Structure 1
Amino acid sequence: MFGLPTLPKLILIAAVIAVIWYFFRRTQAVKRNEGAGGAAGPAQNAPKNAKPIEDMVQCKSCGAYFPAKTGCSCGRS
């Protein structure tokens, strides 16, 4: 009932699998580009309430990092 498939049938099955794989990869690439911002850029995807990035400095006394605009909360210097 289920014998070995002939060469043309194997080629057809391989072609169908290749086409399905190609379209799957293509749709994944499109989704990945849309999620990364695409041509719009990542700045437009930032949340509206996001805080700006601040420079951090290391406290000479305790070694903790804190924003450069504020002082360290360790109270040593």
Structure 2
Amino acid sequence: MIALDPATVDKASMYAFIISAVVPRPVAFVSSVSGSSGVNLSPYSYFNVMGHNPPTVAIGMCRSPSRGGGKKDSLLNIEETG
């Protein structure tokens, strides 16, 4: 057993640990459209079925380090268009 305290681990190491915890890692493709009709299709590995009645799938949309901690296009589009 390995004890891991997220408060003491840097974010990059925690991300690497979490994404390697489930393998093979399934990927969902999320499509969204911006207010100006721009289309986006992105892979997400943070998702799962949350219920069957009603059918519910949850998607975890983290901020992107490649965008300086900003929101990814999928989240921006969903917030913009509802």
| TM-score, reference length from structure 2 | 0.25
| TM-score, reference length from structure 1 | 0.26
Q: Relative CO higher for 1 or 2, CA cutoff 8 Å, sep ≥ 6?
A: 2
Q: Which has the higher strand share?
A: 2
Q: Which has the higher helix share?
A: 1
Larger Rg: 1
